[in-house]
């Protein structure tokens, strides 16, 4: 029987996830990027619960997107997730880029979250 090939992105994601763990004092900021949308979640891995989430599908984020540029949408999602996390008294997180390169939309989201006061 042949083994099923694991995609490189899944391999990278598993390697990163084994090293990056979120705690209740410093949860994990997980980013997922599809072709059309970007999703961000702040997760406490000790209890396996999502504390805060934001994406380009949220009503308030969708209303504030003016440009068709995906990087601009990522910046808005980054600002949104930072504001929501600071409201929940979370100011420091561990960044999980989800197996993707720290470039483009992932970097735009991270930089916008840092500008709003989130530390990682």
Q: In whole angstroms, give the CA distance from residue 90 to residue 118.
A: 8
Residue 68: which of 58, 78, 80, 56 has the closest Cα?
56
Instruction: Output the tens digit of pLDDT for each of the chain's 120 residues.
Output: 556 666 888 888 888 888 988 888 999 999 999 999 999 999 999 999 999 999 999 999 999 999 889 999 999 999 999 999 999 999 999 999 998 999 999 999 999 999 999 999
The residues, ordered by sequence, that sit 6+ positions from 106 with a Cβ below 8 Å of its Cβ are 31, 33, 74, 97, 98, 100
Cα angle: 4, vertex 7, 8; to 5 degrees: 140
Q: In whole angstroms, give the CA distance from residue 115 to residue 89.
A: 17
Q: Can you read off the two tokens belonging to residue 85?
A: 């996390």
Q: Helix 105-115 crosses helix 70-87 at what angle (to 10 degrees)?
A: 40
**Architecture of domain 8-115 in this structure:** 2-Layer Sandwich (3.30)
The domains of the chain are located at 8-115
For 79-107, the pLDDT digits (tens) are 999 999 999 999 999 999 998 999 999 99
**Quick check: 72 and 39 in contact, CB under 8 A?**
no
């Amino acid at each position: 029987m042949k083994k099923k090939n694991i995609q490189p992105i899944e391999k990278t994601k598993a390697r990163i996830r084994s090293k990056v763990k979120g705690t209740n004092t410093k949860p994990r900021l997980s980013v997922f990027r599809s072709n059309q949308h970007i999703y961000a979640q702040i997760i406490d891995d000790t209890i396996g619960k999502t504390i805060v989430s934001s994406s380009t599908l949220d009503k308030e984020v969708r209303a504030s997107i003016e440009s068709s540029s995906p990087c601009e949408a990522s910046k808005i999602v980054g600002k949104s997730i930072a504001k929501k996390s600071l409201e929940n008294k979370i100011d420091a997180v561990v960044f999980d880029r989800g197996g993707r390169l720290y470039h483009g939309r992932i970097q735009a989201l991270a930089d916008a979250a840092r500008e709003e006061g989130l530390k990682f």
